[in-house]
Amino acid sequence: MELNEFAEILGVEFKQPDLLRQALTHRSYINEQTGEEIGDNERLEFLGDAILDFITADMLYVRFPDMPEGGMTRLRSALVRTEALAQMAIDCRLGEVLLIGKGEENSGGRERTNNLCRAFEAVIGAIYLDQGLDIVKGFIIPRLNQMQQYVMEAAIRKDARSQLQEWSQAAHNLTPVYRTVSSSGPDHDKAFEVEVLIGTRVISTGSGRSKQSAAQSAAITALELVESGQIEI
């Protein structure tokens, strides 16, 4: 794929195409070239990493006005972790235009997670230098939104009680407590209602055929409240 085709996928028309080329240039490529005037992407990666952290923090601060600092930190870390950025790079088909040395390519470097993540950060740095911060936001925020939805859904698919405990301890230094509110029905078909407390506040309730499933339901509801920034301790 040509660089101009890749730029079309990004949705960015570069004024300085050499910036995009540099963002896609791995150190191994420079080591195997003679007379290469464009450097590798490591400086652009440094810049893009800082810009990405800022935009992600700004987005979470605005979107979740009631979320405590610990919760925002954990969510930001999940959104900009290496694997998440590598997936964004794959979605952009970045590996197809990555400039790497023969040895690196033969060892699978075009699909290597670290290479994709770093190049993606470098592309962000290149967009910033070429187009400015607003264009970078237009490029990255929709991708962060999609990743945020995936992160929260993945958290809910995991053991919700464990996930809620991790969040609660990190954000508030408190461990959730589950309390059975009621039970009804015959022994062979009982229904339980359980509430979860963080500190002294009841956060959510859940119901199920066992105390464990009711507690899990309560934890899932609590995680959804975390996602929407509605929990205040």
- One-letter amino acid at 24 equals L
35 is written with which tokens? 């007379």
Residue 181: φ, ψ to 5°:
-90, -45
C-alpha distance from residue 195 to each of 201, 211, 217 (Å): 10, 10, 9
For residue 207, what is the enclosing H or E element? strand 201-208
Q: Tell me which DSSP letter residue 110 carries.
A: T
List the one residue out of 120, 158, 130, 133 whose CA is nearest residue 6: 120
32 is written with which tokens? 């195997």
Catalytic positions: 49, 121
- Dist. CA 22–CA 30, nearest whole Å: 10
- For residue 217, the cross-strand partners are none
> Could you give the angle at the alpha carbon of 29 between the alpha carbons of 27 and 33, nearest 5°?
120
- Strands in 177-184's sheet, in edge-to-edge order, are 177-184, 191-198, 201-208
